[in-house]
Structure 1
């Protein structure tokens, strides 16, 4: 009986371990709605980008025109692999869904409203 009491916690620990990556468990549902800057992109930018890329920064992304004109750079940076020093946002990552929203925004023609 004592052996069972020692083995049970070890088995419970082993069963509870998960080795899937963030990319495997994050929602990567295709975006079907038309994406617009004001309703879809701007909130993501305000939460993740504007603290470093305000209107006064060297690479401003605070307005529709700035985001639109820099879409290639934005996509390049947010899609870089984890650990890449050029990955944005610094010290974090957008979710797969948020990245897909940017990709779909470009595919939809970079609409503002």
Structure 2
């Protein structure tokens, strides 16, 4: 009986060491449709960037409150969201976008930066 309990607990620990989120698994499928700013990118920017990149925010010197502002800064945005954890220039500060959010922003650039 002790041997069986040891095997079960060992297997549980081994399995628990592998932690994958739904987003990590689901990001393996490429985004099929054309990504647009209003439909796909704007909600990500509003949820994760506007608190700093808007008037009155700590990064108000570089606002991202409009399509043109985000479009004109897309290379900087992609660079910053792809930086490794711990890099002081990683955005958003104190957090990270999900792999699917990063894919959407990257694909938006590849698709031609369409507004609608």
Normalising to structure 1: TM-score of the pair? Answer: 0.82
* CA deviation string 1:42-101 (max 9, x = no partner): 000011100111144111011111101111110110111122111111111111111111
Give yes or no for the alignment of 1:68 onto 2:71. Answer: yes
- CA distance in 2 between partners of 1:71 and 1:97 (Å): 17
Q: Is the 8 A contact 2:24 2:99 kept in 1?
A: no
Cα RMSD (Å) of the superposition? 2.6
Gaps of 5+ in 2: none
- Of 76, 83, 86, the residue aligned with 1:83 is 86
SS at match of 1:39: helix
Give yes or no for the alignment of 1:59 onto 2:56. Answer: no
Normalising to structure 2: TM-score of the pair? Answer: 0.80
- How far the C-alpha of 1:16 sits from its partner, in A, is 2.6
More off after superposition, 37-46 vs 99-108: 99-108
- CA distance in 2 between partners of 1:5 and 1:30 (Å): 43
